[in-house]
Amino acid sequence: MRQRTATWIFLATLSFVWAVSTPLVLAKEKSSQKESVSKEKSAGDKESKKEATAEAKEGKKEVVASVNGTPIYMADLDTEMNRYEKQMSMTGQAPDAAKLAEMRKKVLDSLISRELLKQQSQKLGIKVSDEEVAAQVDALKKRFPSEAEFTSTLKKMNLTEDKLKQQFSQDMAIKKMIDEQVANKVTITPEETKAFYDGNPDLFKAPEMVRASHILIKVDPKASPEDKAKAKEKIVAIQERIKKGEDFAAVAKEVSECPSSANGGDLDFFQRGQMVGPFEDAAFKLKPGEYSDVVETQFGFHLIKVTDKKEAGVTPYDDIKAKIEQHLKQDKVNKELTAYVDQLKSQAKVEIFLK
């Protein structure tokens, strides 16, 4: 029911500071040749392939930057660019050549910054245990429907589980260092949070919201008139049960064909624009405790019960101050982290060879 924007959990979870940098895994190409090819041509083909393979390997070994003597390869940059382009394509964006060139510079800069932070974490002797890494990987796995889908996603990202663990270990060490050297030294005062609240009133306007439960009997959009009529009869019969006094939540658990049935049909609070039109229109017309008549949407037939309502207004300061503090701290940490990386750069030998 709720209209959600799809996100790729794996991409969002894979990194702590910058996108994880991994060596590019090159797939081996399969080729078949007819036995009738002459030995001379076959030998020539083999020699050409050797040269092409050597050129390809040499291209991937091309050094695009160096951080205190540690090279950053074209393969690293290509891998990160591929990830960014995938993320952009998922949002329907198609960057032009100029934007891609600008993005490429930013990605390289992030790889350099990440290498500096990694080297600094090693210099400070920051360690991450195998148990900590395993816990992170297990937590990530649980966000996938199955082990097979987790493995499939790794494959799409040109990763193995061992490589993922290595990257988590490096990134967790970086995060520990950032916490120790930057984040833990940042504080936000109550005066700062109150000043932000008072200075940005538009940010804290709360829209009208309702909390509703529903019972759904699904109808396929391509269903025949007969099947649609049967579904309508079913929801009407359920409506009669509610009218006779049966508990809405109990009936929802028993008969609703929406995943929310597990919670008695509860959909929690939502504002306008989060639900499909007919459902939303019906819900916002009801008062807490009231039931709707049968409502038809593209999903099927619904019975709706509004359980709570919040009028439009301004979110009270006490209700939002913790989130303001978190926002202000993250903003300040980001600025301090930028300064910290700039300081590391000033003390390091960084060379860029990318044209």
Phi, then psi, of 258 in degrees rounded to 5: -110, 145
Segments of 102-253 assigned E as strands: 205-206, 209-218
Quick one: pLDDT at residue 82? Answer: 84
| Tokens encoding 201 | 């009133």
Quick one: pLDDT at residue 60? Answer: 55
Q: At residue 279, does pLDDT exceed 90?
A: yes
- The mean pLDDT of 258-262, rounded to a whole number, is 94
Q: At residue 132, does pLDDT exceed 90?
A: yes
Q: What is the pTM of this model?
A: 0.59
Burial class, 33, CB count within 10 angstroms (exposed 0-12 / middle 13-18 / buried 19+): exposed
Quickly list DSSP for 278-336.
HHHHHHHHPPTT-B---EEETTEEEEEEEEEEE-SEE--HHHHHHHHHHHHHHHHHHHH
Res. 155 pLDDT band, cuts 50 70 90: confident
Whole-number Å distance between alpha carbons of 145 and 235: 31
Q: What is the C-alpha end-to-end distance of the chain, expressed in Å?
A: 50
Tell me the per-residue pLDDT of 294-353, one tens digit each, with 9 for 90 and over. Answer: 999 999 999 999 999 999 999 999 999 999 999 999 999 999 999 999 999 999 999 999
Tell me the per-residue pLDDT of 160-208, one tens digit each, with 9 for 90 and over. Answer: 899 899 989 999 999 999 999 999 999 999 999 999 999 999 999 989 9
Quick one: pLDDT at residue 355? Answer: 75
CB 267 within 8 A of CB 276: no
Domains annotated on the chain, with CATH: 9-26+35-181 (1.10.4030.10), 208-311 (3.10.50.40)
CB 193 within 8 A of CB 321: yes
Tell me the per-residue pLDDT of 56-89, one tens digit each, with 9 for 90 and over. Answer: 444 457 999 999 999 999 998 998 888 777 777 7
Quick one: pLDDT at residue 9? Answer: 34
Tell me the per-residue pLDDT of 185-196, one tens digit each, with 9 for 90 and over. Answer: 999 999 999 999
Share of the chain above pLDDT 70, in %: 82
Q: At residue 283, does pLDDT exceed 80?
A: yes
Segments of the chain assigned E as strands: 63-67, 70-73, 205-206, 209-218, 266-271, 295-297, 300-310, 313-314, 350-352
Average pLDDT score over the chain: 83
